[in-house]
Amino acid sequence: MEKEYECIKCGTPLFKGENIGLVKMECSHCGHLNKFLDKEEFDVFRLAFLYASDHIIITDKDAVIIYANLAMEKITGFSKEEVIGKKAGSKGLWGGYMPPDFYKKMWHMIKEEKKIFTGVVQNRRKNGEIYEADVSIAPVLDENGEVKYFVGIERDITKEKEIELAKNEFISLASHQLRTPLTGIRWVVEEFLKREKMSERGMKYLKNIEFSTIQLNKLVDDLLNVSKIEDDRIDINPKLMDVVDFIQNYLLEATPLFVGKKLKIIFDKHPLKLEVKMDENAFRNIIQSLVSNSVEYTREGGEVEISLEENENNFLVDIRDTGIGIPKGEQKIIFKKFSRASNAKKEKAGGTGLGLYMVKNIIAMLNGEIRFESEENKGTTFYVKLPKEVKKKKMATEKENLL
């Protein structure tokens, strides 16, 4: 049976139809753009909303809840009757347990900037249990561009976080347990090499053992550092340092790396002096990882260039090489844990895939940014932006620093 559709604003008849789907039609009388959805179509959307596995709520412009789905009840423990008509994010419900700055930033983004907000929050179920959730809040605008509704979606990630924590604890424990025997093996090998008379073949075997223990020690150190970063067990202790002098000294220390591959090292684009308040250990880790990566994946006779630029509140470090580059299709995963590009695996069988993951996280801890440009078989440039004055940060538990 056909239904007559009228302008929502002025009531002028527009058309007749049945099972129309989504229709947009401007009223010839008042100019209002009407949007119509057939009942069957509406029922499909309603059921999708109601039975979605993620917790979904819809609020008015003042964040008062007007709709909630079944997953909201399952995840939070509150019934729909308990939440409808109440303000989302209030402590009387499941929210309100994040720092005030978190909510200030969130409301500014969704209400003033009218952009989608995403983040991880800690909320409390009705039974008092704390849970973690990935949250996304989107403003819905009217025809004048003003906020009319908000749609909030939460996905409970508590179990995922618990699994990740257990995995990190295992890696940390295993790495600590491995360190002692590895140190013992290396010490014995070094003593043999210094004191004992060995055949040429025996010396070769010992050198191989020494090399393997050094590589294993490096893996253990990387795993421990990753564990500390992910558990937020890193101190940030800024002190006054000259970045130009620091990089010059580091390049002097690393000379054997460059000479062995006959690489040309360039560091001539920089101010005479660049004093900043920076955590020296963290900065060393960044420079060492990026430069050693460039050296590792640049073939003999290639070029590695470092440049520095000073701005008002930050400074830029660019590290360019003429190496093997990163395949375009793999560039999105390059900062992920244990990720290595396919051509890097062919170039060097070893490697943990942890270096760039650590670098990105350390830079984030310093409130900096990193990005890169790369072309396969032509080279890669990493661009690092860091503040000139880093804030001191003490971890809440036992004192530990980057190795």
Which residue, among 389, 370, 368, has the nearest Cα to 380 in the 3D structure? 370
Could you state, in chain order, the average pLDDT of each consecutive group of 10 residues for the chain (403 residues)?
74 73 74 71 77 91 92 93 88 87 92 93 91 93 89 92 77 73 83 78 84 77 76 83 95 87 93 94 92 92 95 96 94 89 84 86 93 96 96 59 43
Task: Find out whether 8 and 36 touch, Cβ atoms under 8 Å.
Answer: no
Amino acid identity of residue 15, one-letter, is F
* DSSP secondary structure of 318-374: EEEE-S----GGGGGGTTSTT---HHHHHH-S---S-HHHHHHHHHHHTT-EEEEEE
Burial label for 239, CB within 10 Å (0-12, 13-18, 19+), is exposed
CATH number of the domain at 368, please. Answer: 3.30.565.10
Q: Are residue 225 and residue 263 in the same domain, yes or no?
A: no
Counting the structural domains of the chain, the total is 4
- pLDDT value at residue 97: 85
What pLDDT score was predicted for residue 1? 57
Query: What is the reported pLDDT for 321?
Result: 96
- With 0-12 / 13-18 / 19 or more C-beta atoms within 10 angstroms meaning exposed / middle / buried, residue 346 is exposed
**CATH number of the domain within which 201 lies:** 1.10.287
- The first and second tokens of residue 350, run together, are 């070893």
**Parallel/antiparallel/unpaired status of strands 22-26 and 13-17:** unpaired
- State whether 371 and 311 are in the same domain: yes
Amino acid sitting at position 383:
Y
Q: β-pairing, 3-6 with 13-17?
A: antiparallel
Sign of the CA dihedral with 315 first, then 251, 342, and 222 last: negative
Provide Rg for the chain, Cα atoms: 29
* Residue range(s) defining the domain that contains residue 334: 239-387
Do 185 and 254 lie in one domain? The reply is no
pLDDT at position 150: 94
CA distance 323 to 35: 56
Q: What is the pLDDT of residue 301?
A: 92
What gap in Å lies between CA 28 and CA 14, rounded to an integer? 9
In the chain, the N- to C-terminal Cα span, in Å, equals 75
pLDDT at 242: 96
The verdict on 246 and 374 lying in the same domain is yes
| Residue labelled with tokens 């989608």 | 116
Are 149 and 194 members of one domain? Answer: no
Looking at the fold, whether 333 and 247 belong to one and the same domain comes out as yes
Query: Is there a single domain that holds both residue 180 and residue 199?
Result: yes
Beta carbons within 10 angstroms of residue 47's beta carbon: 10
Tell me the C-alpha distance between 153 and 58, whole Å: 9
pLDDT at residue number 398: 40
| pLDDT at residue 400, rounded to an integer | 42
Contact predicate 368/282, CB 8 Å: no
